[in-house]
Amino acid sequence: CAMHRPLLPTVEEVCRNARRVAVLEGIVDSTNIGAIFRSAAALNMDAVLVTPSCCDPLCRRAVRVSRGTVFQVPWTQIGSTAADWPEQGMQQLHDLGFKTAAMALSDRSVSIDDEQLAKEPKLAIVLGTEGDGLAAGTIASCDYTVKIPMSHGVDSLNVAAASAVAFWQLGKQ
């Protein structure tokens, strides 16, 4: 397939009427990108923002795994270079009225079903790369650190699976 790649919209344009957005930090696996976009479309995310270090959502495998939802969900890149994230990107989200929720395990994590999260009028759900998860600076910059309660000694989920759980719980608002 050959197509003309349009210029990406600005973060402000993509988030203008958004209440729930997903922010993807450094996710490099095209299968995970595609699965996250598919979950975002199905589970009430208004937009997806990818950091400059993420895989291109329009690469063939991501498009295929997403079942075309990369063409349905508004998305753009947040920042022009890797140096723009997290400081400038987080400031941009806060300036647009978003509270930010880092999906990460830490001593200060709140459960994903915490009532305060559900009450936030605008929430950006920040998900990190495979293996390492979110950078410490990103977690520190977020308003919330959020965990998905686990059973049977399991400590975490694949980022695509975690995104589906997060979008289901936090996208209902």
pLDDT tens column, 112-125: 999 999 999 999 99
Q: State the average pLDDT over residues 98-118.
A: 93
Confidence of residue 105 (pLDDT cuts 50, 70, 90): confident
8 A C-beta contact, residue 134 and residue 92 = no
Q: Which residues pair with 101 in a beta bridge?
A: 125, 144
Query: How far is residue 56 from each of residues 8, 92, 93, 113, measured CA to CA in Å?
Result: 12, 21, 21, 31
Distance CA 168, CA 45 (A): 9
pTM strictly above 0.85 = yes
Three-class secondary structure of residue 163 per DSSP: helix
Residue 37: exposure state from Cβ atoms within 10 A (0-12, 13-18, ≥19):
buried
User: For residue range 47-84, what is the model confidence (pLDDT) as tens digits?
Assistant: 999 999 999 999 999 999 999 899 999 999 999 998 99
8 A C-beta contact, residue 42 and residue 22 = no
